[in-house]
Amino acid sequence: MKVTKAIIPAAGLGTRMLPISKGVPKEMLPVVDKPVMQYLVEEAVNSGITDILIITNRGKEAIENYFDFCPDYESSLEKKGKLKELKQIRDIATLCNISFLRQKEAKGLGHAVSCARSFIGNDPFMVLYGDDMIDAEVPTSKQMIELYEKYGKPVLGVQAVTREQIKKYSSLDAEKIDDRVYKVKDMIEKPDDEHIITLLSILGRVLLTPDIFDILEETKPGAGNEIQLTDAMAEYARRYGMIAYEFPGVRHDMGSKLGFLKANVMLALKDPELGEDFKGWLKDYTKSL
């Protein structure tokens, strides 16, 4: 079955990005000149997704406004003959079908995903975590959709991380079956030292099937007293098995201040308009460090 739907959960509290996240949703923070959320929507669209549900909460209206038409701004640009800019802002509102749903309480990523049950119906779907940006030559979601078509099982986007990092993420019990591809038997969220299985961790992208919703309904609050998507996926993996894909490319943790800064530097260096000037300045600047 073709994968055409995606969920982008963006209803987290953004505690690690305070104080800015008090006033601006972390998903709307810029990387060079676009908000994180636009990179995610573009990745989905470039992977064949036609319908996206963004899970938001109170205070994240800026996300909805960004993907809407903006008549006042558009007519000012038109009057001034700034047609390139006009096209640029109208294109954002027509990238694909985007709907919004509020998670009324931040009860965890698993709970946020379960809010999307009626939007998903009986279809397989991508989940792009709202604060994980991946800079890859081929969109990561596209590669994962191809693997789903090949193996017929849910696919987890993973990368190897350090022992220190894995304690904050999840650790997979996985066996390699092909280049970058693993069979997943189990996983554990935020393991302590003795519970680390491998250093492979789920980072920002999962492709799931609707059977996950029944499991999510039975899932009790886990780490941080939140309903953890990983706990539900672990149960799924134990019952039916899953696939993990060690995706190439750089993953930026936009929910952390360091991740946000690194993403801006790395993408600014690649920017067709700013890249050369920025590189020159950065080289000079680093000499003074």
Measure the N-to-C terminal CA separation of the chain; round to a whole number of Å: 54
64-68 contacts at long range (C-beta below 8 A, 24 or more positions apart):
64/100, 66/28, 66/35, 66/37, 66/38, 66/92, 67/41, 67/92, 67/93, 67/95, 67/98, 68/93
If binding is defined by CB under 6 A, does position 13 make contact with ligand UTP? Answer: yes
* Residue 124 or 204 with smaller CB distance to ligand UTP: 204
- Indicate which single residue of 3, 6, 7, 12 sits in contact with ligand UTP (rule: CB under 6 A): 12
Cα distances (angstroms) measured from residue 72 to each of 67, 79, 173 = 15, 11, 53
Q: Near ligand UTP by CB under 6 A, which window of 5-13, 206-214, 237-245, 262-270? A: 5-13
If binding is defined by CB under 6 A, does position 114 make contact with ligand UTP? Answer: no
b/e burial code for range 96-122 (CB count within 10 A of at least 16 → b): eebebbebeeebbbbbbbbbbeebbee
State in angstroms the smallest separation of the CB of 284 from ligand UTP.
Answer: 34
- Indicate which single residue of 39, 67, 129, 278 sits in contact with ligand UTP (rule: CB under 6 A): 129
- Spatial distance between the Cα atoms of 130 and 47, rounded to a whole number of angstroms: 17
Backbone φ and ψ of 33, nearest 5°: -130, 15
Q: Near ligand UTP by CB under 6 A, which window of 6-14, 90-98, 157-165, 195-203? A: 6-14
Per-residue contact flags (x/-) with ligand UTP for residues 184 to 223, judged by CB under 6 A: ----------------------------------------
State in angstroms the smallest separation of the CB of 229 from ligand UTP.
Answer: 8
If binding is defined by CB under 6 A, does position 255 make contact with ligand UTP? Answer: yes
- By CB under 6 A, name the binding residues for ligand UTP: 9-16, 55, 103, 106-109, 111-112, 129-131, 255
